Structure 1
Amino acid sequence: MGIVLNQSLKNTIITYIGFGIGAVNTIYLYPFFLGATYYGLVNYVLSAAAIIMPLLAFGMQNTLVKFFSQCKNENEENRFLSFAVVLPLLLSIPLLLICWYFYNDIAVYLSRENKIVKSYLWIIPFIGLCMAYFEIFYSWARVQMHSVFGNFIKEVGLRLFSLISLLGIYYNWINVEQFVYLTAAIYFVAFLVTMLYAFYLKKPSLQLTIPHNSKDILVYTFFIILSGGVANLLLDIDKIMLNQYIKIENIAYYSVATYIALVISVPSRAMHQIVYPITAKLMHEEKHDELNDLYKKTSINLQIVGGYVMLCIFVNINQLYEMIPPEYGGGIYVVFMIGLSKYFDLILGNNNAIIFNTKYYRAVLFLGVVLVFLTVALNMIFIPLYGILGSAFATLLSITLYSLAKLGFVVKRLHLYPFTNQTLYSLGLTFILFMLFYFWDFPFNSIIAICLKSILVSLAYVYLNYRFVISHQINEVIDGLLKKFKIIK
């Protein structure tokens, strides 16, 4: 347990450091140093690579973690590790050959609106393969109980080298075209370093034999490809589709807005890591009442924490956008729509953990596939009409419908319900504070003004949540802090 707690703490710190570097890159350096056209191009390339990554990895990054512990001796471990590394490569080769054969047709289709894309399409499968094998070797390290290094490379290393490369543009060491190729090189180096680290932890012994439980592995892998593909498509399909209908600069505007909105979902990561095993245990022991109580607690606590983050973003959004080039200003409403979709997902608490610990999880995965088709259809309708606002609305609508479907599934099938009267009180409190703080700004420097307003919002939000006891658990934490600093007895 000491190893788990120690590495969890380190990974949490690393994630937040990486997120901070990413915020500097996304909100400031990319818009000013790279320019909207090449910023949009880089986002398009990385989004497309992320979408094909689960297919090129063949789901082995998750399969490796699940089945490695079932190996009974070192010989079985070596056989399984060899299988996990070789199989994706064997399956990727024919896929890449097909792409190469139809390259011109694919290039013409994908670059019909933005000709600049055509020259860089070959980078997409290269980065996708690097991403896939990075994840596989990261999992190789994780099963050896070493997760920190790979997480550092993923969360901090990639963003830090992007930051250095952006500074290279500023100091004229490289130009914007070279930056695109350098981005591909960064992902290759990340994969290579992670592979060497994984081999350092456990020296490879190549055995070209099929594991005895290959059928179970392949069935599980199919569903991992499905779930991973759905998750990545939902994150990145909007950027891919924007390229098909409007100028590539709009992907840059959209990316800044969505990155800001995604901050709202950050608090859920830590809680889900803690709550997932508890949920699994309660479901295994069939403790329905305790599970229902946990469902309600996670819902209101995430609603309060996520609502605070959302409120700080929303009331400061106008002055935040004063800090970036004016052509990005159309993304303000994108922040609101994507932010609301993330907030609604938050208030469902440990909904996903409940679903994936039932026998119905496969049905929900197929529901995710339906959602992908719905998202594509909505984007095809709304992007030509409203541009990036249409894409944001399509995302808001599709994710809301998906969340409602999952909520309805849990309520009807398992008779669990996440909402209480406190849910309504929290919604009302957040809305009132938004109305009070959104329509005025301090006439100062944008950074100072954002800090001052955030302090006022924080004081009001924390006091009112504490005063009206919206969450007993959060009140207990605040009481503990007040007693620690001897403010109350």
Structure 2
Amino acid sequence: MGVVINQSIKNTIITYIGFAIGAVNTLYMYVQFLGDTYYGLVGFILSCANILMPLMAFGVHNTLIKYFNEYKTEKEKSEFLSFVLFLPLLLVIPFSLIAYFGYHQIALLLSKKNDIVYDYVWQIPVIGLSMGYFEIFYAWVKVHLKSVLGNFIKEVFLRILVSVSLFAVYFNWITPDDFVYSLMGIYILSMLIMKFFAFKERFPKFQIKLPSNYKAIIGYSLFIILTGGIANLFLEIDKIMLNGYVKIENIAYYSVAIFIATVIAVPSRAMHQITYPITAKLISENKIKELNELYKKTSITLQVIGGLLFIGILANINQLYLLLPEKYSGGIFVVFTIGLSKYFDLILGNNNAIIFNSKYYRTVLFLGVLLVLITVGLNMIFIPLYGLKGTAFATLLSITLYSLSKLLFVVFKMKLFPFTKATLQSFGVLLLTFLLFYFWDFKFHPILNIGIKSILITLFYLGLSYYLKLSLDINNIFDTLIKRIK
């Protein structure tokens, strides 16, 4: 776990710096500088692009990690890298032709409720393609266990450029319309920079010859397209469906609430960057005992860290929304429900990495498709009835069902179990902290209130977690820090 903890800490710090910048963008600059209409438009475009991303990448970003360690010679690795680099074109080219010739029909369908969407639909596949190839080049360096730089570009650099563009809107250097175009340029630039560093790490020797297992590679990539699309649908389908039922401004309100709740998932995203290739390696070497240990460690570590974030958000949510325009306050229920689903998914540790790198990866596809249909159905029922609250509740139900099904699959099919006695103790610490800190606030300015309350929550929660030794990895980090201070 040494390299995991080392790079996970770096990735967590980088990701939180990015989230801090993103928080300023999301909670203030988008709201005050861009306006609700264009903010909602940006949320819709990015959600659609995120759903397209696995399709545009042809699932290669996961395929590269799964199969890279199976090749032993430099020649085999070069053949493999050349093949996966051009593999996405099998879908990108025909998809581009369909989008070009069918633009009017597609744009008309997506802009049925909100006319402003029509002129920007063409940006969705461009941003999706940029996201897809960014992930491919990022995977290119992750297989060499170097995940920090790509994480910096993705989490920090991109958001800084967005901040610059938002300031440009504020100073009237560009219009909100120009901002939407600049956002597309930012994603293209990030992809090109990631490509530069990926090729610097290992420049491909382009070869026409197919790898010996090319059929398996294509089959797995197709699987990742579907499963990746399903995973992204769970994250983004709510915003897309909101566009069909309510005014686009509501997507802005929903986006703020989703951003706040997503903070809970940051530790998982950071740790995933390095545990994914390690999980793939352990499975390829059939080291089941080590894999089970990694599963348990990632689960409790993420549960402790994610629990602190979850409690911090819930205990301060009312004060946080005092800083926003009153029309955004309807998102408080969304934060509670989506936050709960994120927390449940967090405690499953590296569950996704285990499934996607095992020989059973195809068997979860049917379940994913079924749950997407359930998600769409639930949204169609609850959005017309309850608006933002309806889609949040539908998302909570669908994500919880999906997470639970993946957990049960790994437990019964692969005989791996992530939970220990510490799992129940961590739930107890979480509940106790919530009861102690949720129902009162200082009578200060909201920012000062949030700051003081967060410090008290952190000291109590982490102090009790350390005393109970819930996560040995977290305790080791504290012990090391204490020794350095002494």
What does 1:46-61 correspond to in 2, within 5 Å? 46-61=46-61
Show the counterpart of 1:395. 395
User: How far, CA to CA, are the matches of 2:187 and 2:25 in structure 1?
Assistant: 17
What does 1:262-341 correspond to in 2, within 5 Å? 262-272=262-272, 277=278, 281=282, 284-287=286-289, 298-341=298-341
Which is further off, 373-382 or 407-416? 407-416
CA, structure 1 residues 479+326, in 2 after alignment: closer, same or farther (shift >3 Å)? same
1:366 aligns with 2:366: yes
Show the counterpart of 1:451. 451
1:314 counterpart letter in structure 2: L
What does 1:160-171 correspond to in 2, within 5 Å? 160-171=160-171
User: How far, CA to CA, are the matches of 1:151 and 1:484 in structure 2?
Assistant: 27
- How many residue pairs match? The answer is 484
1:284 counterpart letter in structure 2: N
User: How far, CA to CA, are the matches of 1:37 and 1:202 in structure 2?
Assistant: 44
User: How far, CA to CA, are the matches of 1:317 and 1:307 in structure 2?
Assistant: 15
Show the counterpart of 1:106. 106
User: How far, CA to CA, are the matches of 1:182 and 1:484 in structure 2?
Assistant: 45
Q: Secondary structure at the match of 1:284?
A: coil
User: How far, CA to CA, are the matches of 2:137 and 2:353 in structure 1?
Assistant: 26
Show the counterpart of 1:131. 131
Show the counterpart of 2:21. 21
Q: Deviations over 1:8-28 (max 9, x none)?
A: 665444333222221221122
Q: Deviations over 1:36-89 (max 9, x none)?
A: 111110111111111112112212233334445556666655544443333322
Show the counterpart of 1:215. 215
2:433 counterpart letter in structure 1: L
**Structure 1 position 106, deviation (Å):** 1.5
User: How far, CA to CA, are the matches of 1:453 and 1:3 in structure 2?
Assistant: 33
Show the counterpart of 1:87. 87
CA, structure 1 residues 269+320, in 2 after alignment: closer, same or farther (shift >3 Å)? same
CA, structure 1 residues 127+299, in 2 after alignment: closer, same or farther (shift >3 Å)? closer
What does 1:99-248 correspond to in 2, within 5 Å? 99-142=99-142, 147-202=147-202, 206-248=206-248
1:126 counterpart letter in structure 2: V
User: How far, CA to CA, are the matches of 1:408 and 1:134 in structure 2?
Assistant: 32
Q: Secondary structure at the match of 2:268?
A: helix
**Structure 1 position 120, deviation (Å):** 0.7
CA, structure 1 residues 296+8, in 2 after alignment: closer, same or farther (shift >3 Å)? closer
- Structure showing greater radius of gyration is 1
**Structure 1 position 295, deviation (Å):** 5.2
Instruction: Provide the alpha-carbon RMSD of the alignment.
Output: 3.3
Show the counterpart of 2:381. 381
- In percent, how many aligned pairs have the same letter? 60
Q: Secondary structure at the match of 1:440?
A: coil
1:64 aligns with 2:64: yes
1:94 counterpart letter in structure 2: P
Show the counterpart of 1:97. 97
1:371, 1:398 within 8 Å by CA — same for their partners in 2? yes
1:375, 1:395 within 8 Å by CA — same for their partners in 2? yes
2:64, 2:84 within 8 Å by CA — same for their partners in 1? yes
1:279, 1:291 within 8 Å by CA — same for their partners in 2? no
2:445 counterpart letter in structure 1: N
1:130, 1:187 within 8 Å by CA — same for their partners in 2? yes
2:145, 2:274 within 8 Å by CA — same for their partners in 1? no
Structure 2 gap segments, 5+ residues each: none
2:37, 2:248 within 8 Å by CA — same for their partners in 1? yes
1:443, 1:449 within 8 Å by CA — same for their partners in 2? yes
**Structure 1 position 254, deviation (Å):** 1.0
Structure 1 gap segments, 5+ residues each: none
Q: Secondary structure at the match of 2:174?
A: coil
